[in-house]
Amino acid sequence: MAPTKQTAVRQSITLKGSTDLVTEFFKYAVNTILFQRGVYPADDFHMVKKYGQTVLITQDLALENYLEKILKQISTWLLTGAVTQLVVAIISKDSRMPLERWVFDINLVQQPSQGAPEQMQTSKPEAEIQAEIRSILKQIVSTVTFLPIIDEPTVFNILVYTHDSAEVPANEWVDTDPLAIEASKSQQVKLRSFSTDVHRIEAMVSYRYEGEQ
């Protein structure tokens, strides 16, 4: 009996699949930043396996619900191509001065077909995408080697930038201060990027640095 030939069909990643991957990345990236920068106590996090490595995620229910609500809306905007940037700003709790801005630029690599955005897809292997995500998360962890030590209580805010045409839920999202750091006191470090071939995410961190006093 002749051996049967096995074939494998590479699974395509659609706009919906890409949106899910990007949204999930933001979940773990924000958690990693909040843990590494000490915004929440270390005891508020627990370890999970993701992307072939150990990552930390909050077990604070209020924070978990807050992030879930934000990520759900970001996912909706990703599907319509309405979102352009996500910013995690770390702020001094007492002075309200912005200390760090973690910026994630969101680019739609493929423009959706008229009336058929669901047809957008890529054949880029998901394992390759996850490897790129893994590299960014590792780099976020390694930033503690050069970012200034934060020795004061901090809070954070998530800013989302959208196109003017984006549908914004009433009473849930408001225009706000960009929480920018003065250019003369800001240093920037570009981080790695990743792409699903539908979306491309480019990351950087800017931080307050006033030099020698």
Q: Report the 3 state secondary structure along 10-67.
A: CCCEEHHHHHHHHHHHHHHHHHHHHHHCCCCCHHHEEEEEECCEEEEEECCHHHHHHH
Q: Is the dihedral of CA 118, 124, 130, 136 positive or negative?
A: negative
Looking at domain 13-208, its CATH superfamily turns out to be: HORMA domain (3.30.900.10)
pLDDT for position 116 = 54
- pLDDT of 213 higher than 70: no
Q: What percent of the chain has pLDDT over 90?
A: 77
Q: Between β-strands 186-195 and 154-162, what pairing exists: parallel, antiparallel or unpaired?
A: unpaired
Q: What is the pLDDT of residues 193-206, one digit of tens each?
A: 999 999 999 999 99
- Confidence band, pLDDT 50/70/90 cuts, at residue 119: low
168 vs 174: CA distance, rounded Å? 9
Q: What is the pLDDT of residues 22-33, one digit of tens each?
A: 999 999 999 999
**DSSP 8-state symbol, 143:** G
Q: What is the mean pLDDT of residues 137-149?
A: 95
Structure tokens at 162: 């959208």
Give CA torsion, residues 22, 27, 28, 33, to 10 deg: 120
Q: Is 193 exposed, middle or buried (0-12, 13-18, 19+ CB in 10 A)?
A: middle
Sequence spans of domains, the chain: 13-208
